[in-house]
Amino acid sequence: MSIRLGYQIPNFTYPGVPVERLFDTVVAQAREAESAGFDTVLVMDHLYQLPGIGTPDQPMLESYTTLGALASATSAIQLSTLVTGNTYRNPALLAKTVTTLDVVSHGRAVLGIGAGWFELEHHDYGFEFGTFGQRFERLEEALTIISPMLRGEPASLDGKWYTARGAMNNPRLRPAVPIMLGGAGEQKTFRLAARFADHMNIICDLADLPRKVAVLRQRCEEIGRDPATLATSFLVMGMVGETPQEAKELGETIPEDRRNRAFIGTPDEVADQVHERILGAGVDGVAINLTRNGHRPGVVAAVGAALKPLVAA
């Protein structure tokens, strides 16, 4: 399993599209991505829209319901969150959920998972947020339960945060559902990725990316794992316009704190940046979102056509 070219759909606010056609617009993007050669479609696991994309009251679809429906609307593309907030679900139930997604999609599910970070959602929905350290304690315990369950092995743990007593997970379709971690923490996240993950989506400022790749490889070597067995990708905020002027106007909407993770330009210009700054840093693949215009027919296809040659096996 690898994500060489992923399309993330983080935005469900589509001007002129009523709620009854909202999911149709999501399906259209997923199908366009599949036809354009993207290998994975990803949605966020959030309950509110995120700062930098919109306001908390804007539409946000629940992730696994959405992915389950996309399984029936597509035929080949992998389906994943980028990434599941561990704090929102019991880990054994999450293993069951993603395995069911794998069955209904005929083997296309990927479990993306992270520690969780958006405090407002936790507060409003009544989920315990805890400290940074506690969230990573919980993530490690969760992976200790989830990882064997995704391989068809009973999971048992009497932990500080979670308990499982021989939890079984049937039916399953494949020997294992792959696990992707998302984040940038060199001490905690990367160590967990080396232990548990098949894939690491690195989320950081572009200037830090070469160092992050080097540290991730080091974390694998520290436990005797071949770094080549842990695939990597990077999430790009794409402000991609048909013309340089359109791209410039889209780029002006980016919050200041997101500018060092955004790529602005025409599809070919963005492809050049991805080649130099992401693949050139030693990352295997890229996931891109098009928050401002991905719902417009043809935009995803144009970006896919420019990016696919860079990651062709």
Q: Which SS3 state, helix, strand or coil, does residue 158 take?
A: strand
* pTM: predicted TM-score of the whole model, two decimal places: 0.97
Phi, psi (deg, nearest 5) at residue 298 = 100, -25
Spans of the chain below 70 pLDDT = 1, 313
Phi, psi (deg, nearest 5) at residue 150 = -70, -15
Per-residue confidence (pLDDT) for residue 1, from 0 to 100: 61
Residues contacting 211, CB < 8 A, separation 6+: none
If one counts the domains in the chain, the total is: 1
Q: Where are the alpha helices (DSSP H) in 60-129?
A: 63-73, 91-104, 119-125
CATH number, domain of 273, equals: 3.20.20.30
Per-residue confidence (pLDDT) for residue 75, from 0 to 100: 98
Residues contacting 46, CB < 8 A, separation 6+: 60, 63, 85, 118, 121
Length of the chain: 313
Quote the domain boundaries for residue 194: 5-311
Cα separation, 110 vs 146, in Å, equals 13
Per-residue confidence (pLDDT) for residue 313, from 0 to 100: 62
Conformational region of residue 96, where left means phi above 0, alpha means psi within -120 to 50, and beta covers everything else: alpha
Cβ of 312: how many Cβ atoms within 10 Å? Answer: 9
Cα separation, 95 vs 100, in Å, equals 9
> For residues 77 and 43, is the Cβ–Cβ distance under 8 A?
no
Give 229-257 pLDDT, tens digit per residue.
999 999 999 999 999 999 999 988 887 77
Going by C-alpha positions, the residue among 222, 221, 208 that lies closest to residue 281 is 208
